């Protein structure tokens, strides 16, 4: 069971099947992209899963789709088995001018109708999504956590309307009281945030081991 990683939006005027061209990129606004990203972050924080794949590709099409929303007939790519397409039939007018609220409602419908379970009933999925949309850019995801004998550090992520991550660190004492809170610079890349090393005096944020960039450790002194 793979935890959700991404939801992407596409468009196509030809049937989404083997032999036809792949759907093209949906040119969404930054606000819509930010909303979708926050939904994914919130679901990921709750360990939501599609099953044996972690990328959901939603394709808006003018072609006929069974029940208007259905898993695409295109075969699973054996070299890239981590994504699945779901096709959504729309009118010519909606295809040209797809409403952002409509896109969000379709995402919500696909998740609740196709991926609800005992662990994630429809009401829970809806609650997570609705709360995230309500909080907008103030939503914080718990991204990393590290504890020691007398300290606890949590790295949070926000995602702003410019589609950048805003990392922030909170450090707690043994009574769960915040003793340090620090916002870090905005970033489009999370390679700097691989693992946490915590002592009584400092928090070390080490970059991801597979990072291609020469990223140095980030030290946060605890007073």
pLDDT of residue 223: 62
Paired tokens of 33:
């992209």
Q: Are 173 and 179 in contact (CB under 8 A)?
A: yes
pLDDT of residue 209: 84
In terms of phi and psi (left: phi > 0; alpha: psi -120 to 50; beta: otherwise), the region of 106 is: alpha
pTM to 2 decimal places = 0.93
Please list, in sequence order, all residues whose beta carbon lies within 8 angstroms of the beta carbon of residue 33, skipping any fewer than 6 positions away.
163
Please list, in sequence order, all residues whose beta carbon lies within 8 angstroms of the beta carbon of residue 127, skipping any fewer than 6 positions away.
none
| DSSP assignment letter at 200 | S
Nearest to 115 by CA among 153, 88, 84: 84
Please list, in sequence order, all residues whose beta carbon lies within 8 angstroms of the beta carbon of residue 97, skipping any fewer than 6 positions away.
none
SS3 137: helix
Residues of the chain with pLDDT under 70: 212-213, 223
Q: How far apart are CA 197 and CA 203, in angstroms?
A: 6
Nearest to 44 by CA among 128, 136, 167, 163: 128
What are the b/e assignments for 106-137, b being 16+ CB within 10 Å? Answer: bbbebbbeebeeeebeeeebeebbeebbeeee
Please list, in sequence order, all residues whose beta carbon lies within 8 angstroms of the beta carbon of residue 124, skipping any fewer than 6 positions away.
none
pLDDT of residue 221: 80
pLDDT of residue 21: 95
Q: Where are the domains of the chain?
A: 2-135, 140-221
Q: Are 84 and 35 in contact (CB under 8 A)?
A: no
């Amino acid at each position: 069971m793979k935890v959700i990683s991404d939801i992407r939006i596409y468009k196509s005027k030809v049937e989404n099947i083997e032999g036809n061209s792949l759907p093209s990129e949906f040119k969404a606004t930054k606000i819509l992209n930010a909303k979708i990203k926050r939904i994914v972050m919130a679901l990921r924080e709750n360990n939501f899963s599609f099953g044996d794949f972690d990328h959901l590709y939603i394709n808006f099409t003018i072609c006929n789709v069974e029940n208007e929303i259905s898993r695409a007939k295109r075969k699973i790519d054996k070299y890239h088995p981590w994504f699945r397409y779901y096709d959504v039939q729309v009118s010519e007018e909606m295809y040209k001018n797809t409403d952002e609220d409509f896109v969000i409602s379709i995402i919500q419908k696909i998740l609740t109708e196709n991926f609800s379970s005992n662990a994630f009933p429809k009401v829970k999925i809806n609650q997570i999504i609705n709360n995230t949309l309500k909080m907008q850019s103030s939503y914080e995801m718990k991204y990393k956590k590290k504890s020691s004998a007398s300290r606890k550090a949590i790295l949070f992520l926000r995602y702003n309307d410019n589609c950048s991550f805003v990392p922030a660190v909170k450090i707690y004492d043994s009574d769960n009281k915040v003793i340090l809170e620090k916002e870090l610079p905005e970033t489009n890349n999370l390679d700097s945030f691989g693992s946490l090393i915590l002592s009584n005096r400092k928090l070390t944020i080490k970059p991801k081991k597979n990072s291609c960039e020469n990223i140095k450790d980030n030290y946060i002194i605890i007073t």
